[in-house]
Amino acid sequence: MEGYLSLWDEYGSRIMESFWANLQLTFWAALASLVLGTILAIMRISPIPSLRAFGAAYVNIIRNTPLTIILTFGVLVLFGVFQLKLTNDFDLNFFQIAIIGLSIYHAAFFCEAIRSGVNTVPLGQAEAARAIGLSFLPAAWLVILPQAFRGAIAPMGNVLIALIKNTTVAIAGSVAEISGLMKTMLEYRADVGVLIFLTVALMFVIVVLPIGALVTWLSKRLAVAR
């Protein structure tokens, strides 16, 4: 117990800072991948063959690539080879590159989640939209997608939860976040190794389980009554 308390004395503020980095990664990557995923979903359901093909190719390639490769690519290639500098702050640069990598990866899954939501919208809705003279984009944006999003809350929530957990992979992108700190703590304080793991694991449980419950509740609450 004393060992555990001294761990908090030593690392307490860094634990909080690191986990905060994971939450920030989650926030920005969720925002960006949701926007990109929506655009991809619109492309995949559009009448234009080239855009459909592009959307399908993006999803099939990215979805089958391990996230670890994408984030490693960010640090070793985007930074290492192309010297990509989004900002002059060295650490912030890796942070932003990791956000790009996480967004590219999760956009493919948001796209598929939204597409599964589109499948919950009855054909009559699209027919009615066309009957009142809406062309593809207005019909999609005003009639189909609002209902599709409401039907896609459960799968989108699952993607969000996966994203929260996947921010730990940002260790492969040289970001100072919680899995990197956990590795450091385990190396220096193996005496309380189990407690270190349980502490960090519990932080994720505390964030993930309520979001899971909220998503289930929302998906029932917002489901379009048919």
Partner 1 sequence: MSSTSQSVLFDAPGPKAKRRILIFNILGILLAVALIVYLLLALNAKDQLNPVRWLVFTEGSVWSNYLLPGLINTLKAAAISIVTSLLFGFIFGMGRLAQNKLINAISSVIVEFFRAVPVLLMMLFLWIMLARSGLVPPADSPFIAVVIGLTLYNGSVVAELIRSGVHGLPKGQREAGIAIGLTRGQSLRLIEVPQALTAMLPALISQFIVILKDSALGYIINFNELLFNGKLVGTGNSNTLQALVVVALVFIILNFGLSKLAEVVSSRLSSRVGIAAPAKEEVEAEV
Contact positions vs partner 1 (CB under 8 A): 44-52, 54, 60-61, 63-69, 72-73, 76-77, 80-82, 106, 109, 113, 115-116, 118-119, 121, 123, 126, 130, 136, 139-140, 144, 154-155, 158-159, 162-163, 165-166, 168-169, 171-172, 179, 182-183, 186-187, 190, 193-194, 196-197, 200-201, 204-205, 208-209, 212
Q: Which is nearer to partner 1, 35 or 142 (CB)?
A: 142
Distance of CA 88 to CAs 19, 30, 73, Å? 23, 24, 20
| 88 C-beta neighbours (distance < 10 Å), count | 7
Q: Which is nearer to partner 1, 20 or 89 (CB)?
A: 20
Min CB(95)–partner 1 separation in Å: 18
Q: Which is nearer to partner 1, 93 or 167 (CB)?
A: 167
Cβ 83 vs Cβ 94: under 8 Å: no
Distance of CA 219 to CAs 156, 211, 213, Å? 10, 12, 10
Length of the chain: 226
- Choose among 50, 54, 42: nearest CA to 148: 42
Min CB(100)–partner 1 separation in Å: 15
Q: Which is nearer to partner 1, 96 or 215 (CB)?
A: 215
Min CB(43)–partner 1 separation in Å: 9
Min CB(111)–partner 1 separation in Å: 12
Please state, in angstroms and rounded to a whole number, the distance separating the CA atoms of residues 75 and 70: 9
Min CB(156)–partner 1 separation in Å: 9
Q: Which is nearer to partner 1, 70 or 96 (CB)?
A: 70
